[in-house]
Amino acid sequence: MIYTFILWLAEFVFYYPIIMSLIWVIGAIFFYWRRERGRDKNPPVLTHKPLVSVFIPAHNEERDIADSVRSIFANHYKNLEVIVINDASTDNTQQVLEGLMDEYPGLKILHMEKNLGKANGLNLAFAMSHGEIIVTLDADSMLDEHAIEWAVWHFNNFPRVGAVTGNPKVRNRTSLLAKIQTAEYASVIGLIKRTQRIIGKVMTVSGVVAAWRRTAIINAGMWSNTAITDDIEMTWKMETKFWDVRYEPNMVCWMLVPETLKGIWVQRKRWAQGGVEVIRTHIDVWRHYKERRIWPVYLDYFLGVFWAYSFVICGLLWTVRLLFDIVGSGYSAMLPDLGNPLISWKGSVISLMCLVQFLVSILIDSRYDKSLLKSYFWVIWYPVVYWIFNALSAVVATPVGLRRDMNTTAVWVSPDRGIKG
């Protein structure tokens, strides 16, 4: 029976990503056909321009914070207030910000003496802000000059919209890891958000750039200071309150990504833990039929975690059998022959599907980033590098997310922002 179960796991490891890739490709094409094809590239004409408050949480961001602030004040949308949350930085972030205040008198700084977590900083900034719409932006990111206009259009025209998630693009593309992530953000993240939006609910806004309706934030109970990933938690709180969360591909920002294996590991482990915490705390959505539109997102994430464990288990069993064969041990016959996961026909099919998925996503997203096609050469490495990292990070983070005391405050440090020049 165990032998049969292992064979079933191996089949699941193969077929699940193939099926999900097909779903993402079909969903993204449908989204493009209905909502992007033939759409005017010029920013929308706004008859109402409400005050927008931009929050930039920063912890030890002396290298990048000035670029982020300048990109906001260079935006075509001018009815703004900008609040940088200096969350107990120990470097020269405060000095850089004080210098920027001479350049931009409208800049406000919320200086926190103690790191009490990103969510606490956002809630305090919310209390001192006045905007009808809130835009949150990571301190390493530069906002496109028309991004805010595209977000405001949704809030103006659709009263049920509680949040709009943006379209992050990688701007540090000098290393192999960064080049792979350039395609990943277009293919995996862009395609998934388009498909989820078509199906019903979005798993999470992009924490790097998102816009929120003030009344929706209040209705959702503000940002949770106990969640390890505040963006995922707030998304689910809004959607379970039946606010609409939208994906706007024209809401572009340019971000920095990790360029070290350690940085990627820390990032992916935090993402995985945050996802597990959310499906753990929102398991009650299955009790109510009115929450049915979020069920596919919940199920997909659960199956994704199950796939990660299956992938690791099958990988370990294949390695053990290979070692038994090398030493000539008879124990290898006790384990099923799962085949080489990299050079077998199944690996070739997965690689081909990956290339198709990335090609479709790059063609769709190239209208927002003309240089995106250059990254296509590097995507063949994605299943090799990032599948392993994502699977291992999910396996490690899942028990942490399940055991963590959700009454404790989640503090944070700035992630890897790429190789420093």
- Tell me the C-alpha distance between 65 and 211, whole Å: 19
Contact between 168 and 206 (Cβ < 8 Å): yes
Cα–Cα distance, 332 to 241 (Å, whole number): 54
Confidence at residue 343, expressed as pLDDT on a 0 to 100 scale: 56
pLDDT of residue 209: 92
| pLDDT score for 330 | 59
Instruction: Determine the average pLDDT of the residues in 2-16.
Output: 82
pLDDT interval class at 77 (50, 70, 90): very high
Find where tokens 């496109």 sit: 144
Instruction: Decide: residue 280, CB within 10 A, 0-12 exposed, 13-18 middle, 19+ buried.
Output: middle
Of residues 254 and 323, more confidently modeled: 254
Closest to 68 in 3D by CA, of 134, 142, 137: 142
How high is the pLDDT of residue 81? Answer: 93
pLDDT at residue 165 in the model: 93
43 pLDDT exceeds 90? no
Is the confidence at residue 421, as pLDDT, over 50? no
Per-residue pLDDT for 28 more than 80?
yes
- If pLDDT is split at 50, 70 and 90, which confidence band does 303 have? very high
Output the pLDDT for position 341: 56
255: DSSP letter: E
pTM above 0.75, yes or no: yes
Which domains, ranges and CATH numbers included, belong to the chain? Answer: 2-27+294-403 (no CATH), 41-259 (3.90.550.10)
Residue-level pLDDT at 229? 86
pLDDT confidence of residue 325: 64
Extract the tokens encoding 12.
């699941």
Which pLDDT band, with edges at 50, 70 and 90, does 316 fall under? confident
pLDDT of residue 219: 96
pLDDT at 181: 80
Q: Give the containing element (helix H, strand E) for 46.
A: none
Closest to 368 (Cα-Cα) out of 147, 204, 101, 180 = 147
pLDDT at res. 112: 84
User: Which among 172, 197, 310 has a CA at the least distance from the CA of 248?
Assistant: 197
